[in-house]
Structure 1
Amino acid sequence: MVKESQTTAAIRGQFLDFADVADCPSELADTVRHLKDGLLLLRNGHIEWFGDWEEGRDKIAENCPVHQYPDKLIVPGFIDAHIHYPQAEIVGAHGEQLLEWLENYAFPAERKYQDKAYAAKMADFFIDQLLRNGTTTAMVFCTVHPESVEALFTAAEKQNMRIIAGKIMMDRNAPQYLLDTPESSYDASRKLIEKWHKRGRLLYAITPRFAPTSSPEQLEMAGRLKKEFPDTYMQTHLSENADEIKWVRTLFPERSGYLDVYHHYGLTGTRCVFAHCVYLEDQEWDSLLDTDSAIAFCPTSNLFLGSGLFDLNRAREKQVNVAIATDIGGGTSFSMLKTLSEAYKVMQLQKQKFSAYEAFYSATLGGARALSLDHLIGNFSVGKEADFVVLDPAATVLQAKRLETSKNIADLLFNLIILGDDRSIFHTYVNGCLVHKRDD
């Protein structure tokens, strides 16, 4: 791991991001900012200036180091809106549908995180994997153990990363060794919020795993926390699997649907993120829009666990905010590039379009908007936090050959999505500091 600490730096190279606009334009391409020879000036972890090299070169302070990337592409840091750090060690565990996979793989893996030393070791591994893949912000599930949250926030704080995370709340329908109670989950979550929320760049997410593993009493406690700490986040799962939805109906027969369970307990709204949403009813789409809730689209997980195909066109029509997510370990790669590639294929199977611009938007500024962080991260606008990735479009022999025939920047982006992986991540910067260099 390489880390540079400096208050002022200049980055020169080819840049691409999406401009801040009040409303989503009819054509996303209209917001693309592509500088073939650009300059990014950094100060104290923030963006001080961004524009063309010729226009900005005289703004570089004397003795300011200039990092030059002539054959690369620099984009904002990737944002992963849904991921489980305790499941990193079970990525690719064979087969099964969601509920069986949880029982056979996820729950046993999560048991280990009551051990502080083990949790700390895996938290460091997890953060390293994020940075190696160009992910600079993530919304993360820990385990039911407070020790797992402490370990992750401690590891993220070392890198000054913007991480959203929380302790799972789970008091039924899971192994006894992973259960808490409504009261203990409230008390532990409250202590973690008071210690970590808004400490540096860290943010807390109230985290009921999903409705079947929380009693009404526990969901009521989760809603109480959200009322007491309204600027915290809430993350959970929604309508991932057909059997899961049937189960929710039997557990909460008094509610009109799966999303209504969460809504009833005050767990919808701004900064509330629902992973998957593969099988939503019409009224659920409307409720997500009306409450300003967001969706985390998890293509590799939905394919690997056979859950189904997310309907992005419906989300567009309903104007519901959508972010992209790896969902490690049901998901099969930490790479946001590979995740975008699978998202493209999910759309193809439904005869829907997913352009290279929309893909990169969903992993950067679009993800920031879905997480209510677009005032802080997501593009190179002056004043924002300096999280960015230096991509190598010719990281492999095949990519280099394909690059020879790229027609334009959109084609180059698409090549990165379809052919790229962690080898395409040349450098990763967090808060203006170099935190990862590719092993060459």
Structure 2
Amino acid sequence: MNYQIIANLKSPMIISENRQSDISESLSYMPGSTLRGAVAAKYLLDDGSPDDKQFRDLFVENPVFFPNLFPADYNTSYITKVIPLTTVSCKRHDGFIKKEEEPSHGVYDILAEKIIEQNYPHIYIPKTCPECNNDMKVYSGFWNGNIHSPKKISSKMIFQRHTGIDRLTGTIADKIFYTTQAVADFYKKDNEKKYEPQNLIGEISLTNPQYENLKSIIDEKYFFAGADRTSGMGEFNLSLKKQQHVQVDINKWNTSFKDKLKSVIRDQIEENEIFNNKIENEQIRNQIEEKLLSQGLYFTVNLNSHTILADRFLRPTAELELSFENIPSNEIQTVIKVARSQTIRGWNSAWGMPKSDDIAVSMGSVYLFKYTGNNLDLLDNELSRLISKGIGLRKEEGFGNISICDDLHIEKEVI
């Protein structure tokens, strides 16, 4: 069963991006490892023991996969999603198209164009803004997940200023002044003067016993996470709410994606000045369509969180090789990947020591695959199982959370 897990912030929260003391920037979301640590610490502080069955069921023997909690949209039931790395927007007026607000030239996904760039670089022309013809740059962050009314979602961030305290006199120390960045415990609604509590939201999969165990820990309790907890920072409470599961129609998505890819092939050839002969253009287009569209079913694996992948020698890698129990490996082909690396740092509160660094594939990365088999139901089942169990290492800390076939990839127009 899938649930929304919602953190309602009661004070600003600082989740440091790294361990360097001279950099005070905070993440704008709560990582799954931070959430997991906060829940475990609260259980132990309330006279719990690591040997308790309830603790071991949640964190050791059958661990819950705690998700990242992203900033929540106040007026929708959609779960906040990561914007894919294949998404671009005008470098001058970026953002989703808004009505009756400051002008934005829209957002567009270029996964289909990336296929042309990789296979036919000699005819590839980069996408430009349809409004002003400026370059389009990668557009990152979070969005509300509603393809019919898309909106970027961001946490309200604040800066707090501090002075140093002289240890001898207990007064302000000379020449010591610094700032810290934090996720605010409030936000302001669009076009309104009213302030609302800041919520962070994620999707968590729980069995009935796990749900009862976790609910008994979080009900009517307050948690602390992040830096400066002794100063009252990082306080929040948690709640669970049932989330309706939406099954992705892979066949329908594949049809829409191939339709978009066909349009991209036509546009790339027509815009390319090398081919000014209509017959030659038609021949080249038919050859490309025959190679890219004739057979196979496309689907994507989208990383909703940083994912720690390792090869058979446990070395960091960005290659994602799907291995299914009931599908031969030669029926799953990797078409293209759009990925970025990310260094994972953390702090182990139980040991009072920093965690070892890991190299991960960044959230928002996209892997496009082609299935050449003929058993669509089997593929559906295998992908559903993959979504529920995640991929890579340290999955119980929120890493390796994935989804498939994002709606942004099949949108033909700028939105």
Structure number, greater radius of gyration: 2
Above 0.5 in TM-score? Answer: no
Q: TM (normalized to structure 1)?
A: 0.21
Q: TM (normalized to structure 2)?
A: 0.22
